[in-house]
Amino acid sequence: MSLTTAYLTAQYILQIPLTSHLAADLVFLFIFSIGTAYFLSLEKHLWRFTSLYSLIDVFKYCAIILILFVGWRYLKGEGLATLIKFSFLFLIFSFSALNMVRILIRLAFERLRHPQVQTGANTVIVLGAGKGAELFIRESMKRADSAYKIEGLLDDDPNLWGKKIFGIKIYGPIKDMAKFVDSSTIQMIVIAIPSLDQDKLCEIITTAEELGMPVKILPSFEKLLINKNISPEDISMEDLLGRDAIQLDDTEVSNFIKGKNILITGAGGSIGSEICRQLIKLKPKSMILVDHSEYNLYKMSWELEHVFKYTQFVAVLASVNDFEVMEGVFRTHNPNIVFHAAAYKHVPLLEKQAKQALRNNFFGTKNVAELASLYGSEKFILISTDKAVNPTNVMGSTKRMAEVFCQNFNQSSETNYSIVRFGNVLGSDGSVIPLFKKQLKQGGPLTVTHPEITRFFMSIPEASQLVIQAGAMGKGGEIFVLDMGSPIKITDLAERLISLSGKRPYKDIEIVFTGLRPGEKLYEELFYESEGHIPTKREKIFIAKCSNNDFKGFEERLQVLEKSINHFHEEKLIEIISHMVPEATIDFSPKAIYGVDGGSGSDAN
């Protein structure tokens, strides 16, 4: 019908007489319109979801029919000048007629399905007028249950000022945010610029805090592609503390991993699980996942199989303390590379569990390291911590013992042993930021041990990528230290999280200082004073040039510890640790260990 109308209208405007060829023309249009529509699958487009892609297919449909029809009429002797005029009019009328109905149906469907925005929606100003803003606006306008009513947009591109996106005006640059908020009833600020750099993000957050406005940010395009609902998220500490993207040496890490069997201990933990994710794209022959937590191992296995569609892995429920089981793992799977991430890491808890800390953090490392040598692994990478530097606690001391053991063992083994040392990772299990978020949801207060306490922070993906890169670089015996940037005050983190939630620190949400916990330091260090600070070819990876360790004295005390660990009291074990790590300053008095004036006299497990 639309093609017939377009044909007759063009004929009328050009004053072409309707002669005997009218019937033949209409039959031609009818037959070829059906064939072309079938060829382009035009009938499969749902009219209520008409989009740009639908309009493009309609244009192709009209153009193909026009070319066929003009060719047929030309062969019939029609003049070229008349056909050119006819073609122009026919294309305009047919395209308009076919799409008008589709657009009207789409508009009616949207109106009936989503008649109005909810009355409780937040009035927002959107920063950025790019693709992210377009998707957010479209989603908000078509959903009746949308939590957002968009009042306007701000963008730094002057060519966009005064323009509109879906009827919503772009008022000016982002720096006018304060003026816009003051002159309207804005309740929230939404950032719609996925590529926004950290400095600009912090500037926006600071302005929003001064205005008392909560701020949210649209998720990355990767998330937008898989999420049905395009909804702003809270700004995370990862966003605020984000750093430049890691540029790995693809050739080096690919040669390091590709086609090899990779063993990851602690594979269900924060770092271990991310190493697994990072390794997939490097195409290892297989991955052997070891963890003593059934739930964590299940989660990682499910994610690899169902999210990443990766099946070349084996999940082994085992403790690194169990030498016989771990030997079975090495004997069966013959790993070429070992990433040893298994460790206990909770400082205050381990202060009262020296025996367990030793068994897991030190003797567990010793087990896996010796098996790597025994079964001919190429490389062993120990994941250490900044708490191993001048340790004041059991956890850091046991990790320092693991460092010294691996460096010593590297001298007598054909396996290359390297250590990677770094600080806290954002969002890891048991870390401060998840705790703050939990406390914030409960209405506060947020608890900080000391007003001046500082920590280094790094994102889990960044730390894991640098661990892999350092492992590829290692020749044996190095302690690689990751560039953690500047230390950050925990109090500042707490204040910023409260502000991001739209609340005021110390007014709406309190911050309470609880005092340093057992073994806790005010600040952490990445290097010993005696260690040289040697850069590598990777700007975020350094090598700690260690002073000579007393390996002989270490081994002598280790022999005593191995024979007696099951018989010593906690205070005796801590005393031995202090001798094995002379730089450690651990309070091994009964009061520090048990929290009372005297010990129980029995083994503490």
According to DSSP, the residues that pair with 338 across neighbouring strands are: 263, 380
Rg of the chain on CA atoms, in Å: 34
Which candidate, 565, 365, 384, places its Cα nearest to that of 479?
A: 384
| Domains present along the chain, CATH in parentheses | 2-113 (no CATH), 122-235 (3.40.50.720), 250-590 (3.40.50.720)
- In angstroms, rounded to a whole number, what is the distance separating the alpha carbons of residues 224 and 247? 24
Q: Mean pLDDT of residues grouped by 10 in the chain (605 residues)?
A: 64 62 67 67 59 70 73 68 70 68 69 54 85 80 72 89 85 87 83 77 81 80 55 71 60 91 95 94 95 96 93 96 96 96 90 90 96 96 91 92 92 93 76 82 89 84 89 90 82 82 83 85 72 76 73 79 79 84 72 43 31
Q: Please identify which of the residues 149, 355, 366, 387 carries the catalytic annotation.
A: 387
Q: How many CB atoms lie within 10 A of CB 233?
A: 13
- In angstroms, rounded to a whole number, what is the distance separating the alpha carbons of residues 399 and 582? 14
What is the token pair recorded at 460? 């889990």
Q: Which helix (H) or strand (E) holds 154?
A: strand 148-154
Q: How many CB atoms lie within 10 A of CB 293?
A: 15
Residue 205: the pLDDT is 81
Upper half-sphere CA count for residue 161 (Cβ side, 13 Å)? 8
According to DSSP, the residues that pair with 291 across neighbouring strands are: 317
- In angstroms, rounded to a whole number, what is the distance separating the alpha carbons of residues 464 and 315? 20
Amino acid at the residue 300: M
What is the token pair recorded at 126? 């959107």
- In angstroms, rounded to a whole number, what is the distance separating the alpha carbons of residues 381 and 384? 9
- In angstroms, rounded to a whole number, what is the distance separating the alpha carbons of residues 126 and 176? 12
To the nearest 10°, the Cα dihedral for 489, 450, 431, 234? -60
Residue 542: the pLDDT is 86
> What phi, psi does 286 have (nearest 5°)?
-160, 160
Q: What is the 3-state secondary structure (H, E, C) of 179-234?
A: HHHHCCCCCEEEECCCCCCHHHHHHHHHHHHHHCCCEEECCCHHHHHHCCCCCCEE
Q: How many CB atoms lie within 10 A of CB 77?
A: 6
Q: Under DSSP, is residue 317 helix (H, G, I), strand (E, B) or coil?
A: strand
Q: Under DSSP, is residue 586 helix (H, G, I), strand (E, B) or coil?
A: coil
- In angstroms, rounded to a whole number, what is the distance separating the alpha carbons of residues 234 and 297? 29
The percent helix, strand, coil of the chain (3-state, each to 5) is 50, 15, 35
Q: How far apart are the first and last CA of the chain?
A: 86
Residue 297: the pLDDT is 96
Q: Is the dihedral of CA 395, 399, 402, 408 positive or negative?
A: negative
Strand-pair category, 379-385 with 488-489: unpaired
Residue 260: the pLDDT is 96
Residue 36: the pLDDT is 67
Residue 53: the pLDDT is 65
- In angstroms, rounded to a whole number, what is the distance separating the alpha carbons of residues 479 and 73? 82
Q: 131 catalytic, yes or no?
A: no
Contact (Cβ atoms closer than 8 angstroms) between residue 96 and residue 158 = no
Please tell me whether the overall predicted TM-score, pTM, comes out greater than 0.85 for this model: no
Which candidate, 536, 528, 524, places its Cα nearest to that of 480?
A: 536
